[in-house]
Amino acid sequence: MGGASAQQRFDLPDIDAFTAPYWQAAAEGRLLVRRCHAAGCGAAHHYPREFCPYCWSEDVGWEEADGRATLYTWSVVHRNDLPPFGARVPYVAAVVELAEGPRMMTEIIDCPSEELRVGMELRVAFRAEGGRSAQEPVVPVFRPAMR
């Protein structure tokens, strides 16, 4: 085995032509969701898909979310051996409900875990994962709305 190699990152998404607008918006400090434009549906969804998961229409497009969310559930992670998570423990892995309706998995920052409450108002924030390139994107995280 040769010299040292870079450790594999398990926290970075694969960015393709379809998801590139989402990651570009995040790098600009904007959160996008997908919304169905089919008559009678209009549902927003997240994670980004090329079709509506409610009515199966392919008439969907990007929409800027306003960044408000409420805490749906969470777990405090005290041990994670995958890089770079081990250096972050403890951290709060969470599911938030966006004001637009969909739920998304994320991380809660800037809040002691004992202060977390279901229904807590949150605002999106963005964390650079080592740079602002397509290889190391900016990711949406959430913090209490009052901070």
In the structure, what pLDDT confidence band is assigned to residue 1 with cuts at 50, 70 and 90?
A: very low
**Stretch among 7-21, 48-62, 112-126 having the lowest mean pLDDT:** 7-21
C-alpha to C-alpha distance for 28 and 120, rounded to whole angstroms: 26
Q: Is residue 10 part of a domain?
A: no
Q: Is residue 12 part of a domain?
A: no
- Show the domain range for 85: 20-144
Q: Is residue 111 part of a domain?
A: yes
pTM value is 0.86
Q: Is residue 64 part of a domain?
A: yes
pLDDT the model gives residue 4? 45
Looking at every residue in the chain, the average pLDDT score rounds to 89
pLDDT the model gives residue 67? 97
Q: Is residue 9 part of a domain?
A: no
Residue pointed to by tokens 């994962």: 129
- Quick: pLDDT tens for 31-50: 999 999 999 999 999 999 99
| Cα-trace Rg, the chain | 17
How much of the chain is in helix, strand and coil states, percent to nearest 5? 10, 35, 55
Q: Is residue 2 part of a domain?
A: no
Is cis: bond before 90, omega within 30 of 0? Answer: yes
Q: Is residue 5 part of a domain?
A: no
Q: Is residue 13 part of a domain?
A: no
Total structural domains in the chain?
A: 1
pLDDT the model gives residue 86? 76
C-alpha to C-alpha distance for 137 and 127, rounded to whole angstroms: 9
Per the CB < 8 A criterion, the answer to whether 107 and 69 are in contact is no
